[in-house]
Amino acid sequence: MTPFPKPGPGLHRAAGASDSPLNGAPGTTAAGTVSAGSVSAGTDSTGSDALLAFARQADAADPLAHYRARFAGADSDLVYFDGNSLGRPPVSAIERVETFLREEWAGRLIRGWDENWLRLPYEIGDRIGASVIGAAAGQTVIGDSTTVLLYKLSRAAVDAQVARDPERTEIVLDTDNFPTDRYVLDGIAKERGLTLRWIEVDTSAGVTAEQLSGVVGPKTALVVLSHVAYRSAHLADAAELTRIAHEAGALILWDLCHSAGATAVEADAWGFDLAVGCTYKYLNGGPGSPAFAYVREGLQGELSQPIQGWWGTSDMFAMGPRYEPAPGMQRFVSGTASIVGMLAMQDTLEMIEEAGMAAIRAKSEALTAYAICLHEAWLAPLGATLATPADPAERGGHVTLHHPAMREVNARLWTQEVIPDYRDPGGLRIGLAPLSTSFDEVYRGLAAARDTLVAVLAEKQ
């Protein structure tokens, strides 16, 4: 059982506010609740002390706290709020890669392919499927970048749909989807003579069921959405949106880049057709580690992927004159994926398999709730606004705070060994990786953000 219950009376978001996002979390008692509203921008030491005490109590009760020590640099004073862009490396991953370079690459040379490397895209793909995205074996594979996999699956999907029904000439996506998704789909639409149907969304929220229902129909070939919005962290109702797409006869592709490893995903149970996701965020595969692709088993044989490479043939070493697609997920592999990246992510996959995504998601909710509580105590009085859903059921693994000065705040924080990131318009993103982030780290990072914003505003007066 998780020690991080749902919201209720407890730590208050502001003076006179109603329920806290951290009610009953570890270490809280009736006598130890905190009125965050009493903490003006760092001037009320009693309130700050209570918020810090809460963080320490939460860390002491956290069943996942011991995983933090497995990450390189986690014992330093640096505050890392960018695990949703590039995760910390596990210490064992560094050791694994060093062993690979010395013993497998240098020691075994070309023999390494037959002895181990050739099967990695499928073995690790199945591990991601089983422990991270809720997919049975034989539906997930590693290879290429997210952008390339997105192109391959989207292009294959629309080609299959148009072949079945030439009237299905529209791709549905939202205006705040991640740029690579929008750019790739724009290119496919131009290549194939298709039309993009845009859903206008609030950059502090995401796509709703009502919005999707209003645009899909008999002309829709494919819907492409992000499970967690990269700016706002809005967590989509993937099961319901998938149902709506299917009801219209469309296929749906989910971008899982900001959810894989931080939020629960049930690709099979929710009826996904297709999905892509990166592995260098919460899966800690390292810079440029290869992405993963999911294709529903019953759909695999119907799709012809557009980048035909020798890894995707039925017999790659036959070197035949014509491309003959392999059965199953192998047909969606084009060329050689990064072995180093696949090896590095195995250590985080082992942690996820041990901890379970339910416990990881529970801690993610508690970390983001605590960040929101600190924001409302310290940053909201300075004019910052929350650009992330307050409801944990609609919130992914990061928190975005808006203020016109946040670009400057972010730049100054980096010089102080506090590493969030910035996204226009005026958004400071606080990325909280559940396995490697502590509540004390959240406290220290938001305190630094508060003090830096105070300094920036004072200079502008």
User: What CATH number should be reported for the domain holding residue 237?
Assistant: 3.40.640.10
How much is the pLDDT for 47? 65
Is residue 259 a part of any domain in this protein?
yes
Minimum mean pLDDT among 6-15, 71-80, 85-94, 113-122: which range? 6-15
**Per-residue pLDDT for 39 more than 80?**
no
Average pLDDT over residues 124-151: 98
CB of 341 closer than 8 Å to CB of 288: yes
* Opening angle at CA 420, ends 419 and 421, nearest 5: 120
Determine whether 281 is an active site residue. Answer: yes
DSSP class per residue in 78-128: -EE-BTTTSPPPBHHHHHHHHHIIIIIIHHHTTHHHHHTGGGHHHHHHHHH
Is residue 188 a part of any domain in this protein?
yes
| pLDDT digits 0-9 by tens, 44-102 | 443 688 999 999 999 999 999 999 999 999 999 999 999 999 999 999 999 999 999 99
Whether residue 395 sits in one domain with residue 304: no
How much is the pLDDT for 143? 94
| pLDDT digits 0-9 by tens, 280-307 | 999 999 999 999 999 999 999 999 999 9
**Per-residue pLDDT for 7 more than 60?**
no
The single residue of 152, 155, 412, 429 carrying the catalytic annotation is 429
Last residue of a domain, one of 337, 353, 369: 353
Last residue of a domain, one of 322, 353, 384: 353
**Per-residue pLDDT for 103 more than 60?**
yes
Minimum mean pLDDT among 21-35, 345-359, 415-429, 433-447: which range? 21-35
Residue of 372, 389, 441 lying closest to 11 (CA atoms) = 372
Is residue 185 a part of any domain in this protein?
yes
User: What CATH number should be reported for the domain holding residue 449?
Assistant: 3.90.1150.10
Last residue of a domain, one of 353, 384, 418: 353
Whether residue 110 sits in one domain with residue 39: no
Average pLDDT over residues 442-446: 98
Determine whether 280 is an active site residue. Answer: yes
The single residue of 44, 255, 273, 347 carrying the catalytic annotation is 255
Determine whether 178 is an active site residue. Answer: yes
Which residue range is the domain that position 425 belongs to? 30-61+358-460
Q: How confident is the model at residue 12 (pLDDT cuts 50, 70, 90)?
A: very low
CB of 174 closer than 8 Å to CB of 201: yes
Whether residue 371 sits in one domain with residue 270: no
State how many domains the chain has.
2
**Per-residue pLDDT for 18 more than 60?**
no
The single residue of 281, 296, 361, 444 carrying the catalytic annotation is 281
CB of 222 closer than 8 Å to CB of 154: yes
| pLDDT digits 0-9 by tens, 254-275 | 999 999 999 999 999 999 999 9
Is residue 395 a part of any domain in this protein?
yes
Whether residue 191 sits in one domain with residue 337: yes
Burial 292-304 (b: 16+ CB within 10 A, else e): bbbbbeebbeebe
Average pLDDT over residues 119-131: 98
Whether residue 321 sits in one domain with residue 226: yes
CB of 53 closer than 8 Å to CB of 46: no
The single residue of 122, 280, 282, 370 carrying the catalytic annotation is 280
| pLDDT digits 0-9 by tens, 244-257 | 999 999 999 999 99
